[in-house]
Amino acid sequence: MMPIKILFINTFDYQQQMKLCKYPSLGLGYIVSFLRKNAGQLNIECRIIDEDIESQIDSFKPDIVGISTISQNFNLAMSHARLAKEKGCKVIMGGIHISSLPHLLPSEADVGVLGEGEETFFDLVKLYFENRDLPVNVLSGVKGIIFRDKGRLV
Ligand code: B12
């Protein structure tokens, strides 16, 4: 069975922020360890990165790209989302910014996850596994997310 490949991006702005502020993201670490613990029969491969976004997408070829973003680096996160979308990945955003201001979900993102992401993200991965896609009719059954249905935010 082909693994579902998930690339997590810890958005970090190397131009604006001091490298001293950079630590591995606790939030993404929680999500990945939850996935690994609960994957069962699901064949999932995860990676967490914060730089060389384009070359990492090209070499890892993820099915899903999960982007963590705070307000201060949201513009950069949107450009990561655009890149991932252009390369055919499903794009899921999470973190404090989207959780606080979900109506700002950029059109490049398929889904925004609100609040704690462990269970919600796992729900989305299971649905992706079953459908090899995240169609709107499937998303409407998931709790704790925001997405677009014919341009309208749900
Ligand atoms: C600890 C912390 C840090 C640590 C992070 C350490 C680490 N190893 O992760 C350090 C010191 C590095 C840090 C740095 C910064 N921080 Co800080 N930090 C926090 C703090 C206190 C807790 C965050 C945390 O770890 N929570 C626990 C983890 C498990 O939860 P989480 O990160 O929220 O992730 C969960 C969900 O958000 C969600 N989720 C997150 N990402 C994703 C992605 C996907 C795809 C999905 C599905 C879900 C998802 O699921 C996760 C698991 O449940 C928060 C305040 C707060 N109480 O939240 C401020 C906070 C997030 N930081 C903030 C700021 C401003 C910064 C800095 C810009 C400071 C600076 N001037 O440099 C930098 C930015 C770093 C960066 N990434 O660019 C602000 C952000 C404000 C905003 N509107 O966005 C906050 C909210 C504090 C505040 N009230 O002002 N920070």
How far is residue 147's CA from residue 150's CA, in Å, rounded to a whole number?
A: 10
- The pTM for the full model equals 0.97
Place of tokens 């055919």: 88
154 residues of the chain, pLDDT tens digit each: 789 999 999 999 988 877 777 789 999 999 999 999 999 989 999 999 999 999 999 999 999 999 999 999 999 999 999 999 999 999 999 999 999 999 999 999 999 999 999 999 999 999 999 999 999 999 999 999 999 999 999 9
Distance between Cα 150 and ligand 1 center (Å) = 32
Q: Domain 4-153: what homologous superfamily? A: Cobalamin-binding domain (3.40.50.280)
Locate the ligand 1 atom nearest the alpha carbon of residue 70 and give its number. Answer: 84
User: Domains of the chain: which residue ranges?
Assistant: 4-153
For residue 18, give every residue at least 6 positions away whose Cβ sits within 8 Å of its Cβ, in sequence order, or none: none
Atom of ligand 1 nearest to the CA of 74: 84
- Helix then strand count (H, E) for the chain reads 6, 7
